[in-house]
Amino acid sequence: MNVQGITSQNESLKKGILLIAGWVSAILSLFIYPFAFGMLGVVSGILATKNNKSRIGVYLVASSILLMGIGLAFSTNIRGMF
């Protein structure tokens, strides 16, 4: 394996970790600290799409904003259910 192959694998791993962390934080923004976890999801999505033309990061940004808004709007109602 050459240096470019190793670098490519490292970039793919970093992107995967960013996407997983972003989706987890986007979902957590519904339940606890909506603004903090929502912004973490947005930043993770932006960083994941920084050098790639992948659309998954864009979906993560949009979902994070949506879930953060829902979490902020209904934070007392959602917490009351659990």
In tens, the pLDDT along 9-34 reads 777 788 888 889 999 999 999 988 89
Per residue in 48-69, pLDDT (tens digit) is 888 776 788 899 999 999 999 9
pTM score, whole prediction: 0.78
Tokens 């240096």 — which residue?
A: 3
**Number of domains forming the structure of the chain:** 1
| Host domain of residue 32 | 3-81
Cα within 13 Å of Cα(3), Cβ side:
0
Q: What is the band of 39 on the pLDDT scale with cuts at 50, 70, 90?
A: very high
Separation between Cα atoms, residue 73 and residue 8, nearest integer Å: 41
Q: Which of 26-30, 35-39, 64-68, 76-80 has the lowest mean pLDDT?
A: 76-80
DSSP 41-80: HHHHHHHHTSSS--SHHHHHHHHHHHHHHHHHHSHHHHHH
d(CA 78, CA 18): 27
Report the pLDDT value the prediction gives residue 21, as an integer from 0 to 100.
Answer: 93
